[in-house]
Amino acid sequence: MPVASAPHHASAGNLAAVPEPLAGNGLTVPVLVAPEVARAQSGGAPVVALESTLLAHGLPRPGNLEVARRIEAVVRACGAVPATIAVLDGVVRVGLDDAALERVCAEQGLSKLGVRDLPVALALGRSGATTVSSTALLATRAGIAVFATGGLGGVHRGGGYDESADLRALAELSLVVVCAGVKSILDVEATLERLESSSVTLLGYRTDRFPGFYLNDSGFGLDWRVETAAEVADVFALGRALGDGAVVVANPLPEPEQVEPALHDRV
């Protein structure tokens, strides 16, 4: 959309993504969109993308399956359709039925797929769980503009070049990413600096503090705060009119649910 045609006040409906076909250079990426997700998209209903690496690699079995079902139930209870994303047998799956969800949660040795791994897994017919970066890429290509996750990757402590591919994805892809901060093992200050230098828009949802994943305050402040989903939608719509890049919405844990700060720091 040209800058001149951007609306003065965008509505929440502007969170609908502009679909980009899963095709290029004469090749079509094998993709299976779940019927529930396809119906929602064709009817203009909201869809929320969810990653699968948390389920396959971040949580212990068999409790990970219960968590997966609870996460999807929360999305539905809020009036949206969940689209958990994974690659199974060389096919991108946008939305998983219960059998596929069980497989992602139970299968041993499931690969962890970042953006660089996707073409290999697809070409060789492999299966894997998608990280934040690859989930964001596949979600945008499938026309999904909202992605919810727990913690983002970022800059590791100790300096050097150990940085998550999530940072590049956030700089290049246009979608809303709702999270509780960056993972606790990371250098929060360096990650925030990198997001700033990459022109990634960062909003605090009803907070002026950047959350710390397990903590509701990482110790760092935020420049911008929003109070409603409609305000997020306005920011996203106008940001997309100006160019590419994600809008990261930092949504902290309620204070009673955070890990006790002293215990967190010891661990």
Read off the DSSP letter of residue 87.
Answer: E
Annotated catalytic residue, options 66, 107, 172, 183: 183
Tell me how far CA of residue 92 lies from CA of 32, 66, 135, 138, 153, in angstroms: 6, 23, 10, 8, 22
Q: Which residues touch 60 (CB under 8 Å, ≥6 apart)?
A: none
Higher pLDDT, 190 or 111: 111
Question: 196 an active-site residue?
Answer: no
Contact 71, 113 (CB under 8 A): no
Annotated catalytic residue, options 51, 102, 163, 255: 51
Alpha carbons 98 and 155: distance in angstroms, whole number:
35
Higher pLDDT, 59 or 155: 59
Is the pLDDT at 40 greater than 80, yes or no? yes
Domains of the chain with CATH codes: 14-147 (3.40.1790.10), 150-267 (3.40.1790.10)
| Residue pointed to by tokens 């990653």 | 51
Question: 183 an active-site residue?
Answer: yes
Side chain identity at residue 216, one-letter code: N
Contact 212, 184 (CB under 8 A): yes
Side chain identity at residue 89, one-letter code: D
Alpha carbons 2 and 175: distance in angstroms, whole number:
18
Tell me the average pLDDT of the chain: 86
Query: Tell me, what's the pLDDT at 112?
Result: 97
Please report, rounded to a whole number, the percentage of residues in the chain having pLDDT higher than 90.
65
Query: Tell me, what's the pLDDT at 8?
Result: 34
Both structure tokens of 178? 């709702």
Please report, rounded to a whole number, the percentage of residues in the chain having pLDDT higher than 70.
82
Burial of 44 (0-12, 13-18, 19+ CB in 10 A): exposed
Q: What is the mean pLDDT of residues 106-131?
A: 96
Alpha carbons 184 and 14: distance in angstroms, whole number:
33
Tell me how far CA of residue 109 lies from CA of 92, 106, 128, 164, 246, in angstroms: 18, 10, 9, 22, 31
Both structure tokens of 266? 């010891």
148 beta partners: 50, 178
Contact 54, 213 (CB under 8 A): no
List the single range of 73-87, 113-127, 161-175, 197-211 with lowest mean pLDDT.
161-175
Is the pLDDT at 235 greater than 80, yes or no? yes
pLDDT band of residue 220 (cuts 50, 70, 90) is confident
Contact 66, 74 (CB under 8 A): no
Q: What is the pTM of this model?
A: 0.86
pLDDT band of residue 11 (cuts 50, 70, 90) is very low
